[in-house]
A = this chain, B = another copy of it.
Amino acid sequence: MKIMKKWKVLGEKTVYDGMPRITVAIQKIQLPDGRIVDDYHRLYFPDAVMMVAYTKGKKLIMCRQYLHGQGRVSLVIPSGTVDKGERPLVTAKRELVEETGYSSGNWTHLKTYICHSSYHCGNIHYFLVKDAVKICEPKQADLEEMETVLLSKGLIKQAIRSGLVVSLGTITALSMASIWDGKVRAKKKR
């Protein structure tokens, strides 16, 4: 197995400041073989949370909404943006109630991934939520109209195949949930 080293960041300058949403920087990089790259992009987005949340009846809580990047209506899992200095779990619990009206005491952090392999684009913290119950009506979102949809586990693959689920973040979450669900259960049995 080849030994691969991290790239060294020799410097960085901001070329576009659109905070709190997006900052674009250019990094000066030194590759492991000594070569210098002086225009490697780094994009800073705020961290995000995504919640794979199941009701007590084992239905997956999804949101049907128009997302402008996609330019169409699709099914996504509940998500939100982490405020500066906030703990991701705190954001996740608040956003689940605000977006769907559901709440739960059963939370597991699955994994935190970086959004873009080349440019970073922020971390996404994935949570598994079980036994959620409806405690209020969802709050109207800031810009997007939104509708809660409860999906049987057996219909998830069909929803992806039909084109109703098209967000990379949502598909990743659903795969991970199917992988970690077993592990989380196994842990609790011990």
Chain A interfacial positions (CB closer than 8 Å to B): 1-2, 4-7, 15-16, 18, 21-22, 24, 26, 29, 31-32, 37, 40-43, 64-73, 76, 111, 113-121, 124, 143, 145, 147, 157, 160-161, 163, 166-169, 171-172, 174-176, 179-180, 183
The answer to whether B73 touches A4, judged by C-beta atoms less than 8 angstroms apart, is: yes
The answer to whether B175 touches A171, judged by C-beta atoms less than 8 angstroms apart, is: yes
Contacts of A76 in B (CB 8 A): 117
A68–B49 Cα gap in the complex (Å)?
A: 22
Query: Can you name 19 A-B pairs with beta carbons within 8 Å?
Result: A1-B147, A4-B65, A4-B73, A6-B66, A15-B18, A22-B24, A22-B43, A29-B68, A31-B143, A69-B119, A70-B117, A71-B114, A116-B121, A117-B169, A121-B121, A160-B175, A161-B179, A161-B183, A171-B175
- A19 CB to nearest B CB, Å: 11
Counted per complex, copies of this chain come to 2
The answer to whether B22 touches A119, judged by C-beta atoms less than 8 angstroms apart, is: yes
A15–B172 Cα gap in the complex (Å)?
A: 31
- A81 CB to nearest B CB, Å: 10
The answer to whether A171 touches B176, judged by C-beta atoms less than 8 angstroms apart, is: yes
Contacts of A157 in B (CB 8 A): 179
The answer to whether B32 touches A24, judged by C-beta atoms less than 8 angstroms apart, is: no
- 8 more contacts with CB within 8 A, not counting A5-B66, A115-B116, are A6-B72, A7-B68, A22-B41, A71-B114, A115-B168, A121-B121, A157-B179, A175-B175
The answer to whether A114 touches B70, judged by C-beta atoms less than 8 angstroms apart, is: yes
A118–B167 Cα gap in the complex (Å)?
A: 10
- Picked from B67, B71, B114, B166, the residue with its CB within 8 Å of the CB of A69 is B114
